[in-house]
Structure 1
Amino acid sequence: MSNISRQHQTAAAIPVSPDSPGSPFSISANLLRLFSHIKYENLAAGLSGGVISTMVLHPLDLVKIRFAVSDGLQMRPQYDGMVHCMRSIWQLEGIRGLYQGVTPNIWGAGASWGLYFLFYNAIKAYTQEGRKAELSAFEYLVSAAEAGMLTLCLTNPVWVTKTRLVLQYNADPSRKQYKGMLDALVKIYRHEGIPGLYRGFLPGLVGTSHSALQFMTYEGLKRDYNKSRKMPSDALLSPLEYIAMAAISKIFAVAVTYPYQVVRARLQDQHNNYSGLSDVMRRTWSNEGVEGFYKGMVPNLVRVIPACCITFLVYENVSRLLLGEYH
């Protein structure tokens, strides 16, 4: 018998331990343990927070995206600032114009926040399993990043659709490229295929660092604040305290990661053709310098800080109510 045959027989004779890290048994067991920590109350609470904040603040999101893609093309309306932009849209199309793309935004924000809180709390509980010590800042960061990646894989087509709808500048509904969310999804898929629905996915993956930094900061602030009060780290806080911690964590995350949002919006824009991530970055830097990567940041901050505060406040209270932890 040849050496190769003997080696194959020997390998086949060695049993695979269910406890081996790479074995199918181990992977299945770990997935089952992870799924055992899923609580759909977190999904409902996150969805509620995302939907409410989006309905209130969508016009500011529209303004932010229009500024983010303003790269000098003549086909785009020119705005002097946030107020001028909102007034111009109002004069051309009324309240309907300010709420262009609101349907995919509600779907996207609701689904994203719901799935994010669902995955994040499950991963966090899985990591915490069997330990008395609290998670470290790095473990919060990793848990939030993993939750963000899973969420983005499911929701990226919705965000592409929202961007396309928001960037329709014609006031005449009959001359608009997309009639609504479903029409946009179908047309993007028909003309651009799956890659079209996943435009901006790579910078979106980079953007998971935004949520990871935000959640790491938010969890750290809550933990340290409750320690200073000699309370459990997950003790219920007042609405004002949740708002303050959400705002601080959001400002920190935006300051660090905003340029990826500009790159992502430009990749998803139907009015310009980029060959990829490096092409967007090169042309933005060449034509606009460092300021190009921070276009729309002011309207973004004006929008995301209250949006974050509303989302986290609603989530914290609704989740505790559904989980029976509201005392």
Structure 2
Amino acid sequence: MSDNVAHALAGAGGGIVSMALTYPLFTLSTRNQVSRDKTAGAGGQLAIAQKILKEEGLPGFYAGIDSAIFGIAITNGVYYYFYEAVKAAFEKAAVRAAGKARPMTALESMLAGAVAGAATATITNPIWVINTRASTKSTSGDDKAKSKGVFQAAMDILKNDGPKEFFRGLVPALILVINPIIQYTVFEQVKAKLEATRKLSNFDFFLLGAISKLAATSITYPYIVIKSRMQLRQGTDENSRYNSIADGFRKIIRTEGIIGLYKGIESKLLQSVLTAAFLFMAKEILFQYAVSILVLVGARKAKASVTA
């Protein structure tokens, strides 16, 4: 069995750790993204945080965390499986062509990210539709949702809206594949340059994850806002219904101004950067354990040495 399975297991474990540590910021950012009033920025986020604390208490910051933990584990597992599989294919091609291994080029990193991102977005979109609705339950006005679990929420979507509802927001999610493309391209290129000078530490991977995610999220944030809103159940108000990405851009700019496209960006940047930093650091640590487990259960042959 190839290393991409070990990378998938390590990525899933790292995702769980990073999401659990940063979920309150995820909730705060998501609620700000779907809010359609003209309050934005740090003041708006503080108001939302105070409202959550007053109306729901501390558990409100963890609304939908069960689906998020499940979702991030599947998301990272699928992403790393496909990413490492494509990466391995490029490395084998390089060995055949030049007789020796080399780091991926920027174009190869982008292609690997595109394949992995498209597969991940399609497979996991239903999970994030459920999570978006669960984590924004108080802002969507569905009081009954407070007592419902993820399974019941999924059954409600299936009953009320049909299977196609699980793929609401898939188009912007596919466009957002550019986010991990930017992230992993920056990560791989900077990592290759640093590895040429010294052995990288866990803290190096923490910083690499933070820097690469900061670049990716800053560039793609307006699409993140539109995706979150499209994943909500669409209301009767014409301004709240987005028929396409372009329609979403037009309506947000018309009713909320340009700043509406960046609602919640402060907490999202902090959450994304910390999540990516913890993810990359945890994944590097968990990779060796994942390999050991696979060897132990006979799913992988032992090697003299293993590199992540």
In the alignment, which residue of structure 1 is the partner of 2:145? 176
1:134 Cα deviation from its structure 2 partner: 2.9
Other-structure match for 2:202? 239
After superposition, the C-alpha distances for 1:83-107 in whole angstroms (9 at most, x for unaligned) are 4322321221122211111111111
**Counterpart amino acid of residue 188 in structure 2:** E
| C-alpha deviation, 1:71, in angstroms | 1.1
Within the candidate set 95, 120, 123, 1:154 is matched to 123
Given that residues 251 and 301 in structure 1 are in contact (C-alpha distance below 8 angstroms), is that contact kept between their aligned partners in structure 2?
Answer: yes
- Residue 171 of structure 2: which of 198, 202, 219 is its match? 202
Deviation at 1:38, TM superposition (A): 5.9
Runs of 5+ consecutive residues of structure 2 not aligned to the other structure: 95-99, 292-304
**What TM-score, normalized to structure 1?**
0.80
Q: Which amino acid aligns with 1:281?
A: F
Q: Distance in 2 between matches of 1:180 and 1:63?
A: 20
Which residue in the other structure is 2:298 paired with? none
1:88 aligns with 2:51: yes
Q: Which residue of 2 aligns with 1:40?
A: 5
AA aligned opposite 1:302: L
- Cα 1:174/1:67, change in 2 over 3 Å: closer
| TM-score where L is the length of structure 2 | 0.85
- 1:325 matches 2:293: no
Q: 1:225 aligns with which of 194, 198, 203?
A: 194
Compared with structure 1, are the counterparts of its residues 209 and 326 closer, same or farther at alpha carbon in structure 2 (3 Å cutoff)? closer
Compare CA radii of gyration and give the structure with the larger one. Answer: 1
Distance 1:245 1:268 in 2: 31
- 1:228 match: secondary structure: coil
Q: Aligned pair count?
A: 283
How far residue 82 of structure 1 moved from its aligned partner, in angstroms, is 3.1
Q: CA RMSD in A?
A: 2.5
Other structure's SS at 1:169 match: helix
Q: Could you tell me whether the CA contact under 8 Å between 1:274 and 1:280 is conserved in 2?
A: yes
For the 8 Å contact 1:246–1:312, the answer to whether it is kept is yes
How far apart are 1:170 and its partner, in Å? Answer: 7.2
Amino acid at match of 1:47: A
CA distance in 2, matches of 1:177, 1:89: 13
Paired residues of 1:38 and 1:119 also in contact (CA < 8 A): no
Distance 2:120 2:307 in 1: 27
How far apart are residue 173 of structure 1 and its match? 9.1
Bigger Cα displacement from structure 2, 215-224 vs 188-197: 188-197
- Structure 1 residue identity aligned to 2:15: G
Conserved? CA contact 2:169–2:231, under 8 Å: yes
% identical aligned pairs? 28
Q: For 2:16 and 2:162, how far apart are their aligned partners in 1?
A: 28
Give the gaps of 5 or more residues in structure 1: 1-35, 230-234
Q: Which protein is richer in helix relative to its size?
A: 2
Between the aligned partners of 2:263 and 2:55, the Cα distance in structure 1 is 23
Contact 2:4 2:80 in 1 (8 A): no
Alignment of 1:288-303 (within 5 A): 288-303=256-271
